Structure 1
Amino acid sequence: MYIQVKFGLILAFFIVSYKANASASEYIFINIWDEYNQSTKLPQPMGERIFIQPDINIDKPSLTQFVTTNPKFNGIRIDHNNQLMFKFQVRTTPTRVVVNEGRVIFKEALIRSAPSEATSNTQVPLQTLSGTLLSDTLIHKTYKVLFFSDSLCPFQHIPNCEKRIEQNNQLAQQNDRVLTVIKPFYVDKQNALNYQQRFEVKHDIVFDTHNQLFEQYQITELPYWVLLDNEGKTLYRGTNVPR
């Protein structure tokens, strides 16, 4: 009798779980710019899976290009004005939110895959386009301003980039301790060299081969400035040129 009751409870649990999953929506919030560097481990679905990209430095052509190289994210959509992120109180990516009948029934941060040996930050040391090797210590001793930019400028996902590059060039004329850091996604070192020539950049540029400086300073907007003191501590960070 006890075994029958226990079996009935287990069966009822699976039926309820199946019905919940059948009617649930599972939102996977990711940032495609992070996925290029380190992919997310996707768990077993808990409902109809919907991929969501935060409305930060993104446009439809960028999503289309991303899906072409990462077809598992087919159907990903932009969370315009980040309405779903605010609604479900998602503050970081990647995150999974499962919703059933308008109510959040499950929420968790997802795990990223370990970086492969080919993309490890330790494989190739950073160096400027002129060939000077860089380290954290040398960056802190040599530069006061880090300017994070994109060699695809001008492009839809980097508004006002030409004006800001010009502002940074003017800043570098006043202070020679400026380093431009070029994002590696979609491009190679030659694109950084083209950027240097196109915008007549006279100060040092580093092509951030493995995205390590972008990760270290947690850059999510472009163009973007980070102002450092002599010990490498951040005095200012933002999208407005430091004064």
Structure 2
Amino acid sequence: MYIQVKRLIILGVLLLSYNAQSTTVEYVFINIWDEYTHTTQLPNTKVKRIFIQPDINVDKASVELFIDAYPIYQGLTIDKHNHLMNRFQVRKTPTSVLVENEQVISKMHLTSTAKTTSKPKRSSPLQTLSGKPLLKTRLQQDYQVLFFSDSLCPFQHIPACEKRIAQNNQLAKKRPEIFLTVIKPFYVDEHSAYAYQKRFAVQHDMVFDTYNQLFEYYQINELPYWVVFDTQGKVIYRGAHMPTKDLISL
């Protein structure tokens, strides 16, 4: 009898433990752009863990690329309109929020570690997405229009980017061989450039500006941005507004 009672008590404790665990969830808020350079140290957990990305400068395609590179974040979802961040009053990432029966029982900021991945040297040769070698010193002879853009378009920090990309594509229709779109490398990898090429149906040459070489060389501080050369390779226009057709040999 005593043994049966003891077994029932143990079973009850186990059931209570299971129920408690099944209603406890850990939300881990991260920023994928930070994770590319600083890895979050995730503590061990016995509860369900859900990865959340703030709804800031991100889209589904970017999240999918990130998960492909970092499978540990499988299931990462975008916090639409930052509903959960506001609900749990999360102000920075990475942050862990432990929720039990819909109530926050703990919240803590997680630590990050800088990655020691090797980066290409500044002198690393560039090439277009199709594999054509590029030399900075010859760009002004090989192309007449450089269009500097960002694969994160369309996001809040790049106003009117979709319109300007469409304008550049329209300009390039007659002579695509003299146009080159240069993609900013910050926070992204070359996969994002291919995604941009497909998303905006770019039909001229594109280059992922490894190590920010061309952005520094031409001192680009605004996006999207055009640099136009004459037939002698002299810069005749720089600006964030679409260049007029009379400046280009169309």
TM-score normalised by the chain length of structure 1: 0.51
> Counterparts of 2:47 and 2:62 in 1: how far apart (Å)?
27
Give the SS at the match of 1:91.
coil
Match of 1:183 in 2: 186
Whether 1:47 aligns to 2:50 is: no
1:136-151 to 2 correspondence within 5 Å?
151=150
In structure 1, give the amino acid aligned to 2:209.
Answer: A
Gaps in structure 1 of 5+ consecutive residues: 1-12, 132-148, 166-180, 207-221, 225-243
Give the SS at the match of 1:28.
strand
Gaps in structure 2 of 5+ consecutive residues: 1-12, 124-134, 138-147, 166-183, 194-205, 225-250
> Counterparts of 1:201 and 1:37 in 2: how far apart (Å)?
21
Give 1:20 deviation, angstroms: 3.3
Are 1:150 and 1:183, in contact at CA under 8 Å, matched by a contact in 2?
no
Match of 1:204 in 2: 219
Match of 2:151 in 1: 152
Q: State how many pairs are aligned.
A: 159
> Counterparts of 2:45 and 2:164 in 1: how far apart (Å)?
43
> Counterparts of 2:223 and 2:16 in 1: how far apart (Å)?
49
In structure 1, give the amino acid aligned to 2:151.
Answer: L
Give the SS at the match of 1:58.
coil
Match of 1:192 in 2: 209
Identical amino acids, percent of aligned pairs:
38
Which deviations, in whole Å up to 9, do the C-alpha atoms of 1:83-121 show, x marking residues without a partner?
1001100000000000001100111000112332636xx
> Counterparts of 1:150 and 1:32 in 2: how far apart (Å)?
20
TM-score normalised by the chain length of structure 2: 0.50
In structure 1, give the amino acid aligned to 2:48.
Answer: E
Give 1:46 deviation, angstroms: 4.8
TM-aligned CA distance change 1:33 to 1:117, over 3 Å: closer
Match of 2:9 in 1: none
Are 1:26 and 1:46, in contact at CA under 8 Å, matched by a contact in 2?
no
Whether 1:75 aligns to 2:88 is: no
Which of these two proteins has the greater Rg computed from alpha carbons? 2
Structural RMSD (CA): 4.4
Are 2:29 and 2:54, in contact at CA under 8 Å, matched by a contact in 1?
yes
Give 1:47 deviation, angstroms: 1.9
